[in-house]
Amino acid sequence: MAVQTPTQVAGKPGFGAVVWDYMTTTDHKKIGTLYIGTSVIGFAIAGILAVLLRLQLAVPNNTLLVGNAYNQVLTTHAAIMIFFFLIPIGLFGFGNWFVPLQLGVRDVALPRLNNFAVWLFIFSMILILTGLFHGGVPGVGWTFYYPLSVDANQTGVNVLMVALILNGIASLLGSANFAATIVNMRAPGMSLWKMPIFVWSIFSTSILQLVSLGGLTAAALVTFLDLKMGLSMFNPGINGVPVLMQQFFWFYSHPAVYVMLLPYLGIGAEIASTMARKPMFGYRVMVYSLLGITMVSLLVWLHHMFALGIPETWQIAFMVATMVVAVPTGVKIFNLIGTLWGGRIIMKTPTYWLIGFIFNFLIGGITGITLGLIPFDYQVTMSYYVVAHFHNVMMFGTAFLAMGGLYYWWPKMTGRFMNEKLGLWHFWLFMIGSWMTFMPQYILGLLGMPRRYYTYPAGNFAWNELNFISTLGALMLLAGGMVWWWNMYQSWRRPATASANPWGGFTLEWTADSPPKDYDFAHDFPTTFPTERPLYDWEQSGAKLIPVDPSSIHLPQSTVWPFMTAIGLALMGYGLSFGWFSSWSPSVAQTPNQLASIILYVSIPIFLYSLFKWAGTPEYDVPVHHHTLTKYSNGFMGMAWFIISEVSLFGVLIGGYVYLRVAGNAVPPVTRPSIWLAALNTLILVSSSFVIHKAEQDLHHHRTSRGSLGLLLTLILGAFFMIFQVYEFSLFGSESNWMQNLWQTCFFIIVGLHGLHIIIGGVGVALPYYQYMTGKIDKTNHGSLVPASMYWHLVDIVWLFIVAIFYAW
């Protein structure tokens, strides 16, 4: 791991002890370190893959990586760069490290969930690579367009789908956790409008993730079911619509671009303000820009698909939204410059990354606008112009601020400085390397070179030269990456000497030690927050930090069960990818594997056992009273945010189904599940909602035995529901071939997904039942009753929609 904080144990802990510590930790800083470390490794892997791609394209008709091998490298490069570097390092790496520190609190709202999320994230990256041992990783592009994703010659698509879904779950839990933390746990006196801009950026990014990620999950889920069971909403052979997959996919994957932007804009603003020793220029406007980008970015996804020839009105509407996004984004750029204006700018490495970002992102933004000009987009979409554009905004745009953030917060995270000279070498190699790599690609796009080509003929004007220059640039980037790793390594070997506030920053993280102690702060804060720069304001007003005895601080206790639960889920993912039921895919590489099937069956008890052990382990080893800013508990708040993502997932799938139905593609077969059974099930579910509500009230008023009975009754009702549904599914599945009727596939996918949610919700309800039965609940430990009950209500409400659109309609 490249980034590590020393543990506070006296003496140097052994390797095993450190690993155990990271497996069991609930410390947001260590979890942040895991995210950052994994991302840095992801960046290295994906970066080396990118160099391989460039080497293949260095000269025409090259034979280094041919055909599908090239496509596999390309897919892995993109998937890892996006899902295991650029999204996690900013949002979850720096987010976990600095949201609590900047808010002046000692942990996130749900620290153990945080541990679960980070390990699930790490395992999902490993899961993608397991494709290597099962015929190969996918060569379908990270976009896995249908029907290429179910092409007989493709391998590893199953596991990519599963890994994306698991990574999505981890990502949603992390996002909900941030949102809950920000709403519930700020230093007393810090209002939302006095939060540091970085926290705002994480808040808006989290909301964006929660709203949009359902699109990716839906696309991956349906593709997975198509491969595994022939259940498809996209298969044109049964009137499905392949483009629907792209709609699902881009509904998330365009907002994902902003998930890869907003945290870095926050970091950039922090760097600018600190390094220029000035307040942010237009703090409020910047916050509104963040929120504006969050909102509008949900309405631009169609611009990835202009060349599909979707009706013009739609194209124009999305073109306008696309261009509108440029306005708040431009505001951010202007305000960053405005923040620097009039300051005394400390010219250290983070500042260089910031300036490099502004300059490069300016070009990326401008070319982004040109891509909104639809007739021009028809020409250059899917060409190297687009490749250059998105690398311009991501690689030498936002990734520059990932680097900037790393250099900026490195002293805080490790207590050490990186070498300035090496830092500047790293910066300039990346700057010049990026320009050399990607600027020729803009021209290549104008000269008609399509993207994702593993070879090109020799005779096209300027293609050879431009490709060769681009490859040289990639090698320069590789050199820069090596300088960076060396810089981190040599810095890590030195003693920790950094002061608490080496840059003279203005936000609360700079009051903690470098590196911070486990408990973050050995002090409380004044409760006046005149602006978003408390340290400056307090210096002016003379307000002082209030020392706290560290021994009076209680932190959540370490536990290995979230980690084990994540292992269980990852093994389940492995088994689902390669084993279990027969595969409908014609590909030999995707026939079920015996060992994987066994692992699947083993994984279920591991998962459930660990989950219950987790639920049975109290968060704190001593009774601690939780203080939240709202009247709602952290469990409630986390679940409330998480529910947004479930609504979005069902919303996307149901939206797709309604479209297929209205367009006349999905026609119900003559014999379809009858309404009376659904009506009975509705009765069961609705009454279970009342039962669990009553149980919750009973338990709240310490009528434990009645309340527990209520939970049990809820579980029994859920079981009856499932029995009826399984009966109905078996009947409907035997009445007609589910691979032949689009309505039927939609029914099985969406109603089946709801059934899965009943099971998840049932397990969720079983947890507090178990907690009550084993006496784990007392005045200070509320267990997981509130979120479980909320989730159960959600599942019931979704059912009502399902009855309406699948049984009544």
Partner 1 sequence: MLNMLPGLPAPPRRQALSLAALLLGGSSLAQQVNQTVSILDTSSGYNREMNVLVFWSLAFAIVIFIGVSAALFYTVQKYREDKNDAPPAQFHGNNRLEVTLVAVPVVIVIFLALLTVRAMARLNPTPEGAYPVNAVAAQFYWNFEYPKVAVDKAAGTGLVTNGNELIVPTQTKVAMTATSRDVIHGFWAPNLGGQRDAIPSVKKTWQIDTDKPGVYQGNCTLLCGASHANMRFKVIALPQANYIQFVSAAQAYKAPTAAAGSPAAAGYTIFMQGKDGSGACAACHRVQGTPAAGQSGPDLSFFGSRRTLGAGAWEGADVDTHLHQWIKASSSIKPGSVMPHYDGSTQGYPALSDQELTDLEAYLKTLQLPTEGNYWTKIAALVPGAPVPVAQSPTPSSVNATTSASTAMNGGN
**Contacts to partner 1 from residues 154-193, by CB under 8 A:** 154
**Residue 333 Cβ vs partner 1, minimum distance, rounded to whole Å:** 7
Question: What is the SS3 assignment for 177?
Answer: helix
**Contacts to partner 1 from residues 131-150, by CB under 8 A:** 132, 136-137, 139-141, 143, 145-148
**Residue 244 Cβ vs partner 1, minimum distance, rounded to whole Å:** 11
Q: Which amino acid is at 210?
A: L
Interaction between residue 73 and partner 1 (CB under 8 A): yes
Interaction between residue 363 and partner 1 (CB under 8 A): yes
**Contacts to partner 1 from residues 12-51, by CB under 8 A:** none
Interaction between residue 748 and partner 1 (CB under 8 A): no
> Whose Cβ is closer to partner 1: residue 177's or residue 501's?
501
Tokens found for residue 312: 């013009």
| Contacts (Cβ under 8 Å, ≥6 apart) of 122 | 34, 38
Do residues 242 and 376 make contact, with C-beta atoms less than 8 angstroms apart? no
Of the candidate spans 256-264, 319-327, 415-423, 642-650, the one that interacts with partner 1 by CB under 8 A turns out to be: 319-327
Considering only 18, 291, 373, 677, the residue that binds partner 1 (CB under 8 A) is: 373
> Whose Cβ is closer to partner 1: residue 404's or residue 762's?
404
Give the residue among 175, 32, 177, 195 at the shortest CA–CA distance from 103.
Answer: 195
**Residue 400 Cβ vs partner 1, minimum distance, rounded to whole Å:** 14
Question: What is the SS3 assignment for 141?
Answer: coil
**Residue 406 Cβ vs partner 1, minimum distance, rounded to whole Å:** 21
Buried b (16+ CB within 10 A) or exposed e, 681-696: bbebbeebbebbeebb
Interaction between residue 453 and partner 1 (CB under 8 A): yes
Considering only 452, 517, 694, 703, the residue that binds partner 1 (CB under 8 A) is: 452
**Contacts to partner 1 from residues 645-684, by CB under 8 A:** none
* Integer Cα distance of 217 and 392 in angstroms: 27
User: Within a 13 Å sphere around the CA of 764, how many CA atoms are in the beta-carbon half?
Assistant: 22
> Whose Cβ is closer to partner 1: residue 375's or residue 542's?
375
- Burial environment of residue 705 by CB neighbours within 10 A (0 to 12, 13 to 18, 19 or more): exposed
Considering only 1, 126, 192, 308, the residue that binds partner 1 (CB under 8 A) is: 308
> Whose Cβ is closer to partner 1: residue 243's or residue 686's?
243
Interaction between residue 447 and partner 1 (CB under 8 A): yes
Tokens found for residue 245: 């997959």
Q: Tokens 């279920």, residue?
A: 604
Considering only 18, 291, 346, 713, the residue that binds partner 1 (CB under 8 A) is: 346
Binding mask 455-484 for partner 1 (x = CB under 8 A): xxxxxxxx-xx-xx----------------
| Contacts (Cβ under 8 Å, ≥6 apart) of 589 | 134, 135, 136, 155, 156
Considering only 93, 104, 230, 338, the residue that binds partner 1 (CB under 8 A) is: 338
Of the candidate spans 60-68, 196-204, 491-499, 589-597, the one that interacts with partner 1 by CB under 8 A turns out to be: 60-68
**Contacts to partner 1 from residues 375-414, by CB under 8 A:** 375-383
Interaction between residue 422 and partner 1 (CB under 8 A): no
**Residue 676 Cβ vs partner 1, minimum distance, rounded to whole Å:** 37
**Residue 297 Cβ vs partner 1, minimum distance, rounded to whole Å:** 15
**Residue 323 Cβ vs partner 1, minimum distance, rounded to whole Å:** 4
* Integer Cα distance of 463 and 62 in angstroms: 14
CA distances from 113 to 106, 117, 556, 600, 687 (A): 15, 6, 12, 23, 30
Q: What is the DSSP letter of 310?
A: -
Interaction between residue 236 and partner 1 (CB under 8 A): yes
Question: What's the chain's length in residues?
Answer: 809
Considering only 17, 19, 366, 759, the residue that binds partner 1 (CB under 8 A) is: 366
Q: Which amino acid is at 299?
A: L
**Residue 376 Cβ vs partner 1, minimum distance, rounded to whole Å:** 5
**Contacts to partner 1 from residues 79-138, by CB under 8 A:** 132, 136-137
> Whose Cβ is closer to partner 1: residue 358's or residue 571's?
358
* Integer Cα distance of 518 and 502 in angstroms: 20
> Whose Cβ is closer to partner 1: residue 68's or residue 96's?
68
Within a 10 A sphere around the Cβ of 524, how many other Cβ atoms? Answer: 13
Of the candidate spans 169-177, 328-336, 474-482, 686-694, the one that interacts with partner 1 by CB under 8 A turns out to be: 328-336
Tell me how many degrees the CA angle 217-223-224 measures, rounded to the nearest 5: 85
Interaction between residue 760 and partner 1 (CB under 8 A): no
**Residue 791 Cβ vs partner 1, minimum distance, rounded to whole Å:** 38
Tokens found for residue 409: 């917060």
Tokens found for residue 336: 């960053």
Tokens found for residue 683: 């009765």
Per-residue three-class SS string for 597-664 = HHHHHHHHHHHHHHHHHHHHCCCCCCCCCCCCCCCCCHHHHHHHHHHHHHHHHHHHHHHHHHHHHHCC
> Whose Cβ is closer to partner 1: residue 155's or residue 167's?
155
Do residues 449 and 388 make contact, with C-beta atoms less than 8 angstroms apart? no
Binding mask 262-301 for partner 1 (x = CB under 8 A): --------------xxxxxxxxxx----------------
* Integer Cα distance of 11 and 635 in angstroms: 37
> Whose Cβ is closer to partner 1: residue 326's or residue 432's?
326
> Is the link from the previous residue into 147 a cis peptide, with omega within 30 of 0?
yes
Q: Which amino acid is at 148?
A: L
**Residue 49 Cβ vs partner 1, minimum distance, rounded to whole Å:** 9
**Residue 665 Cβ vs partner 1, minimum distance, rounded to whole Å:** 10
Tokens found for residue 467: 């490709």
> Whose Cβ is closer to partner 1: residue 286's or residue 777's?
286
> Whose Cβ is closer to partner 1: residue 13's or residue 136's?
136
Q: Greatest CA span in the chain, whole angstroms?
A: 83
Tokens found for residue 780: 């200070």
Q: What are phi and psi of 106, to 5 degrees?
A: -100, -10
**Residue 175 Cβ vs partner 1, minimum distance, rounded to whole Å:** 29
> Whose Cβ is closer to partner 1: residue 313's or residue 552's?
313
> Whose Cβ is closer to partner 1: residue 454's or residue 772's?
454
* Integer Cα distance of 370 and 677 in angstroms: 55
**Contacts to partner 1 from residues 527-586, by CB under 8 A:** 531, 536
Of the candidate spans 94-102, 217-225, 363-371, 682-690, the one that interacts with partner 1 by CB under 8 A turns out to be: 363-371
| Contacts (Cβ under 8 Å, ≥6 apart) of 629 | 183, 184, 185, 186
* Integer Cα distance of 808 and 553 in angstroms: 57
**Residue 62 Cβ vs partner 1, minimum distance, rounded to whole Å:** 5
Of the candidate spans 68-76, 169-177, 548-556, 642-650, the one that interacts with partner 1 by CB under 8 A turns out to be: 68-76
Interaction between residue 66 and partner 1 (CB under 8 A): yes
> Whose Cβ is closer to partner 1: residue 26's or residue 235's?
235
CA distances from 364 to 297, 321, 350 (A): 16, 17, 20
Binding residues with partner 1: total (CB under 8 A):
117
Interaction between residue 333 and partner 1 (CB under 8 A): yes
Do residues 215 and 299 make contact, with C-beta atoms less than 8 angstroms apart? no
Of the candidate spans 333-341, 652-660, 674-682, 698-706, the one that interacts with partner 1 by CB under 8 A turns out to be: 333-341
